[in-house]
Structure 1
Amino acid sequence: MESAAQPSGPGRRSLRDHAYETLRRRIIEVELRPGERLVERDLATELRVSRIPLREALRLLAAEGLVLLVPHRGALVAPFTPSDVRDLFDVRESLESLAARLAAERADEEGLRRLAARLDAARTATREHDRPTIAAANAAFHTDIVDLAANALLSGVMRPLEARMHWLFHLTAQRDPAQQCAEHERLYEAIAARDGDRAARLAHEHVADGRPASLALAARWSMPDIDPEAIAARRRRGRAEAGKRGAAGDA
């Protein structure tokens, strides 16, 4: 039972944000693996928050596709299914190609310097075989290109996908980092040369190249007994049945 002295307003939001940011980072960096149960009691103790802000944080993570809320089973890190990977790559291949084309047309010198610095960070991490830093730098490189595209609508569409994209880079960290770095270098050169057609083509090829490895990984981590679509359908049926019972009681 929750204490009557629950914080409200900014205090509770800060606890929720603390729980959200901590769990988000741990999921994206694969400290918490797909399918792993998130036990509220244990997490509340570990994060030093009560269950109300923790549950709010879990709902935010569920909205990003990182957490699955399963009736009668609680929360777990969302399984990374082959259909999830397919859908994500379908969207990325189109939108990241557009972002690269626009970045080549619109990036200013300061933006290009930021992108080059991000590429340098990835090179350094690649030489040092620092896989977590490689994954973070590569994900940020893609985010920077979207920013350089200077298209508010495109940024708004891509923003909800960022968490899953960063997660994907960490999940597939075993991909050849030298090859990824070389592909990013060619993409940067096309953007810096203001060659929109080449930038779009290279972005599409780069994203498509990661699809097979990601699909293979998702197949290994898939959990057939936990189907998000089936869970959503059960929730809809439950709400409909509850509504019918309520209507019958009022009659």
Structure 2
Amino acid sequence: MLAAENPPTFSKTDHAYETLRRRILDGTLKPGERLRLSHIAGELGLSEMPVREALRLLHKDGLVLLNLHRSAEVARLSFQSAWEIEEVRLRLEAFACAAAAPYHDAETVKSMRWLIGELQLDLEHPVATARGNRAFHTLLMSRAPNAFLRAHIQELWDRTWQYSSASFFDFMPDRTPMLPVENNRIVDLIEQRDQKGLENYLAERLDNICMAWSRAVRRAQQAQPAAI
């Protein structure tokens, strides 16, 4: 007789971490908002210890700021700081996309085309556009052999999500209509098995994004000089 499988272990810290992380990334918890340990613990039905550990993990992720006297708040990120993180992410992402290209097949190509079609329907809505574009690039990188690289790119994306899910496209309106065009070109090159052409195009695209970000930072400085 087979032994009964043990039920999955419930981690209170993981529960607190995932709940708070989701609320920060979807905008429920705003930048600068105080995170009161006792209030969170009571709301989640937990003791303060796992919540405190969850806040430490979120601090390591760059999503929470831990102050003196054990207080905490959702991290604020200037547009300039967001760009510095984004530049690193974009360069790693280009490498991951190129590394993944030989491993894509007809099924993933079809899925990427579908995501591009969905993206085109949402170009008037910045947050939906950001989510659709991220979904496309996540699938694009999914066949990259280096799992650590893929995970690290997603972590960097999370750190700037407060900007990349809203302000990013508000300050870079000229980039929005280019997204489906660029994404289709990337898929074309993957489908054609043109690795060199893909690498060249990703490098060219990165240069264009860097110039657009530079313009966006200047616009942000003019609009919100105190926040840059």
TM-score, normalization by structure 1: 0.69
CA shift, 1:83, in A, is 5.4
Asked if the contact 2:79/2:227 (under 8 Å) is kept, the reply is no
Q: Which amino acid aligns with 1:58?
A: L
User: Corresponding residue for 1:84?
Assistant: 81
Determine the C-alpha separation between the residues in 2 that align with 1:215 and 1:78: 22
CA shift, 1:110, in A, is 2.1
Q: Which digits, 9 at most, give the CA deviation of each residue in 1:176-204, with x for residues without a partner?
A: 34333333333333333333234422541
User: Corresponding residue for 2:153?
Assistant: 158
Alignment RMSD, CA only? 3.2
Unaligned runs of 5+ residues in structure 1 are: 1-8, 225-251
> Structure with the greater relative contact order (CA < 8 A, sep ≥ 6): 1 or 2?
1
Q: Which digits, 9 at most, give the CA deviation of each residue in 1:67-115, with x for residues without a partner?
A: 1111126111111135532431331232122123223333222222232
Partner of 2:30, secondary structure, is coil
Number of equivalenced pairs: 212
Cα 1:192–1:179 change in 2 (3 A) is same
Asked if the contact 2:115/2:135 (under 8 Å) is kept, the reply is yes
Are residues 1:200 and 2:202 paired? yes
Q: Which digits, 9 at most, give the CA deviation of each residue in 1:92-146, with x for residues without a partner?
A: 23212212322333322222223223222322333xx444332222122222222
Are residues 1:100 and 2:97 paired? yes
TM-score, normalization by structure 2: 0.74
Selected match of 2:131 from 128, 136, 139: 136
User: Corresponding residue for 1:235?
Assistant: none
Partner of 2:177, secondary structure, is helix
Asked if the contact 1:62/1:68 (under 8 Å) is kept, the reply is yes
User: Corresponding residue for 1:170?
Assistant: 165
Selected match of 1:211 from 210, 213, 221: 213
Unaligned runs of 5+ residues in structure 2 are: 1-7
Determine the C-alpha separation between the residues in 1 that align with 2:117 and 2:139: 14
Identity %: 32
